[in-house]
Amino acid sequence: MGTFTPHGGFLGMLAGATPTVLFVLGVLGVMSVGCWSIILVKVFTLTGAKREAARDYARFQEAATLREAMQELASSRRSPAFHVGRLAFAELVRMEEAALSPAEKGHVAMDNIRRVLRQGVTQELGNLSRNLGFLATCANATPFIGLFGTVWGIMNSFHSIGLMQSAALAAVAPGISEALVATAIGLAVAIPAVIAYNFFLGYMQTIERELVNFAGAFLNRIQREVSWAPAKAEAATPGRG
């Protein structure tokens, strides 16, 4: 145990910390850097995806034809709606070239396009939610990692009491202070992580709703504009599957 310096502050406590507590603090520091890196990236990517999905859904609805709508979406290739629509439009083109009768083509094509839309929505949501699991892990694990450092520091303090045969506060203050620092840092990592995770989940739900609406609008356009498409849609709406 190092010598406690009353005016040393945080650095003074680190200088007197045991290797185990220092290791715990190092792990928490790495996790904190990872959390804040993800938070900063996701703030920009999810905010942009939410804005672009809503905008492109409106632009898709306002376009005169399906082909014009896809040309409008092509101007924002980073939009999740564009990627979903591109997959579905490619499947529509393949079905138009298929050697099937109009009745067969209409039945098979609508099922295929509905599955492609569902897969596209799921794929885009998966891409946007990447690394959010790390935030959830940090939110759940870092308080316990900090608590482990706290327990270890307190155990070390009690061990020092036994060696010095003194229960004076000055004898145990260094170990207790470094132990409490571990818990505080664990909470400092967990609190932003859980707030950001729940905030991003709300964004993901909004983006999912916009993509599901876009998928439904895409099917409606096919049924209005493609001659071999069935006149009525099935009740199921493409969603997250």
Q: Domain count of the chain?
A: 1
DSSP line for 36-81: HHHHHHHHHHHHHHHHHHHHHHHHHHHSSSHHHHHHHHTT-TT-HH
What percent of the chain lies above the pLDDT cut of 70?
Answer: 75
- Within 10 angstroms of residue 127's Cβ, the number of other Cβ atoms is 12
Instruction: Compute the CA torsion angle 10, 14, 15, 18 (nearest 10 deg).
Output: 150
User: Within a domain: residue 96?
Assistant: yes
pTM for the full model?
A: 0.76
Tell whether the model's pLDDT for residue 10 goes beyond 90.
Answer: no
Angle at 18 between CA 15 and CA 22, to 5 degrees: 75
Query: Which tens digit of pLDDT belongs to each residue from 191-226?
Result: 999 999 999 999 999 999 999 999 999 988 888 876
Is residue 116 a contact partner of residue 240, using CB atoms and an 8 Å limit?
Answer: no
State how far Cα 113 lies from the chain centre.
Answer: 27
- How many C-alpha atoms does 227 have within 13 Å on its Cβ side? 3
**Tell me, what's the pLDDT at 95?**
77
User: Within a domain: residue 241?
Assistant: no
User: Within a domain: residue 131?
Assistant: yes
User: Within a domain: residue 238?
Assistant: no
User: Within a domain: residue 61?
Assistant: yes
Structural domain span for residue 185: 22-225
155 vs 12, which has greater pLDDT?
A: 155
